[in-house]
Amino acid sequence: MEEKKDIVICRCEDITLDMIRECIRNGADNLEEIKRTLRCGMGPCQGTTCMPLIRKELARYLGVSIDEIEMPTKRPPLLVTKFETILEGVEGEE
Amino acid sequence: MRSSANVVIIGGGIIGSATAYYLAGLGIKDIVILERSYLSSGATGRCGAGVRQQWGLDMNCQLAKASVDIFENLREELDYDIEYRQGGYLVLAHNETQVEQFKRNLSVQAKYNIPSRLISVKEALEICPYLDTSRFIAATFCPTDGHANPFLTNYAYANAASRLGVEINKFTEAREILIEKGRITGVVTDQGTIRTSIVVNAAGGYSREVAAMAGITIPTYSERHQILVTEPIEPLFQTMVISFQIGIYTQQVPHGSFIMGISEKEEPSHNINASWHFLEYMVGQAVQILPIFKRLRVVRQWAGSYNKTPDAQPIVGEAEDLPGFFQAVGFSGHGFMIGPSTSKVLAQMIAGQPPEIDVSPLTYKRFQTGKLILEPSVVG
Ligand SMILES: Cc1cc2nc3c(=O)[nH]c(=O)nc-3n(C[C@H](O)[C@H](O)[C@H](O)COP(=O)(O)OP(=O)(O)OC[C@H]3O[C@@H](n4cnc5c(N)ncnc54)[C@H](O)[C@@H]3O)c2cc1C
């Protein structure tokens, strides 16, 4: 198992498989709690790469099928938007 | 799930988790938390997590100061890094009336050794160099105010409570409170019934619904409040910047992102959807105080519920009409900052000990007697 130690699961926030396993062992038995503890899924990609992997890991730990693990909510605006752009939008409407 | 308990706490936010922890610490056994979703799914996991001691009323200063004393040692006490930072709170004054009010507040704060002070625009710039100086005329600053990570604080309390033997049932909803001859006898959940004589309403946005299960009418209601977070950037300033007049607050968290929120006119509801209108309004107001924000990029926005009362102050204590029914609800926008001390006081009351801070004015009966609590410095 040693060689698995540094597998990075969430690239936005630099979260490794070991950190995720520890978090699950500490009682986080759903993706929302894992996300909130470790910030994985809160970066610019909103969990597109990491969540499916974490979901699989959690399902394995809990001994349930992947479909039983609910995916966390994605938050708007989904695309990283510059404040200036939002302001231009406001002015454009007037 | 247990079939009987000494205390059943409804709600696994900061209030429910911290109350369970302090109760267990007082030696009370067989405590159960019911949380209908995951931990921190309510307001706690959606909040700005700012911790301010600059209040205008004695009781609020006491609760806030006592919470800061707790926050300062929470990492050691709960063995969990909650990312608590004391970068201060800079409260902007926009006119002379506010300056006078803030001076009165400062004299109350001083009684409780809260190290806040009135500062000039020039001094404010030393703390936050990016403020637009045409937008305010003075400010108050308290260096020991700050913020924590709300999820981690919630989990730190929950984990510590569970180490002390508290049973936490996630994804378990309280549906009904059983009462016989004026006494609580149990709680019906979607996973079965628990016999108990003591129930704690820590249900946040659903406090009125839970009180109603006990036949108690309280005037709390939920109101959507929105918030956003930006991409992380290099550290700009440490302090929280707030304005009661604009209803705005913003702060850079240790991770490097800015979080910010602003109050909007909302009808009471359980709506927690994010809106585009908020984004435009928030950004428009923020860049007026802090023009440097134009270069920020928003990554996520979300919403949560303020659970409000007619005077924007919480209801805390045992219900006069139903012994064994305790409540800590209706915290408006400040339940995180006074959560630790309020939960501790509530635990003392449940355990039959004299509470270390007198919160008797927070009775729900005040809405009948008209003895409302008029706090001048609240984010509405
Ligand atoms: C956008 C926003 C920003 C904020 N910023 C700040 C801030 O900077 N500083 C500050 O101090 N405060 C702030 N607040 C307020 C703060 O978040 C709340 O006052 C505080 O978190 C309340 O904690 P709680 O435990 O009472 O409620 P919650 O965290 O809402 O917990 C209540 C829990 O009860 C559960 N529940 C409800 N009904 C049932 C039932 N029938 N059975 C089982 N479980 C049930 C819910 O699922 C929920 O998890 C903010 C709030 C919002 C929305």
Domains and CATH numbers, chain A: 8-92 (1.10.10)
Hey, what are B69's tokens? 């004393």
Q: Which residue has the tokens 């108690």?
A: B216
Helical ranges in B147-257 per DSSP H: 150-163, 207-213
DSSP string, B32-77: EEE-SSSTT-SSGGGS--EE----SSHHHHHHHHHHHHHHHHHHHH
Helix axes B58-78 and B339-350, enclosed angle (nearest 10): 90
ipTM field: 0.85
Residue from B55, B270, B331 whose mutation best tests the ligand 1 pocket (most atoms within 8 A of CB): B331
Residue nearest to atom 48 of ligand 1 (CA): B42
- Give domain B85-144+222-306's CATH architecture: 2-Layer Sandwich (3.30)
Q: Residue B8: beta bridge partners? A: B32, B199
B141: closest CA among B150, B151, B131? B131
The amino acid at B117: R
**Residue A3: is its pLDDT beyond 70?**
no
Q: How far apart are CA B304 and CA B327, in angstroms?
A: 20
Which ranges of chain B have pLDDT less than 50? Answer: none
B85-144+222-306 matches B7-46+151-220+311-369 in CATH topology: no
**Residue A92: is its pLDDT beyond 50?**
no
**Residue A1: is its pLDDT beyond 80?**
no
Preceding peptide of B129 cis, ω within 30° = no
Radius of gyration, CA atoms only, chain B = 20
Task: Domain ranges for chain B, please list them.
Answer: 7-46+151-220+311-369, 85-144+222-306
Q: Which fold has domain B7-46+151-220+311-369?
A: FAD/NAD(P)-binding domain (3.50.50)
B376: closest CA among B37, B153, B109? B109
Q: Residue B210: beta bridge partners? A: none
Report the residue from B280, B295, B302 with minimal CB separation from A86.
Answer: B280
Residue from B8, B9, B35 whose mutation best tests the ligand 1 pocket (most atoms within 8 A of CB): B35
Q: How far apart are CA B67 and CA B307, in angstroms?
A: 20
B326: closest CA among B317, B335, B315, B338? B317
Q: How far apart are CA B23 and CA B118, in angstroms?
A: 39
Question: Which tens digit of pLDDT belongs to each residue from A29-87?
Answer: 999 999 999 999 888 778 888 999 999 999 999 999 999 999 887 777 767 889 999 99
Burial of B288 by CB count in 10 Å (0-12 exposed, 13-18 middle, 19+ buried)?
A: middle
pLDDT at A94 (0 to 100): 37
Segment A6-31 shows an average pLDDT of 91
Helix, strand or coil, per DSSP, at residue B146: strand
pLDDT at A90 (0 to 100): 62
Residues B319, B327 contacting (CB under 8 angstroms) = yes
pTM listed for this prediction:
0.95
Question: Which tens digit of pLDDT belongs to each residue from B69-97?
Answer: 999 999 999 999 999 999 999 999 999 99
Protein residues whose CB sits closer than 6 Å to any atom of ligand 1: B 10-16, 34-37, 41-44, 46-50, 173-174, 202-206, 210, 225, 227, 261, 304-306, 331, 333-337
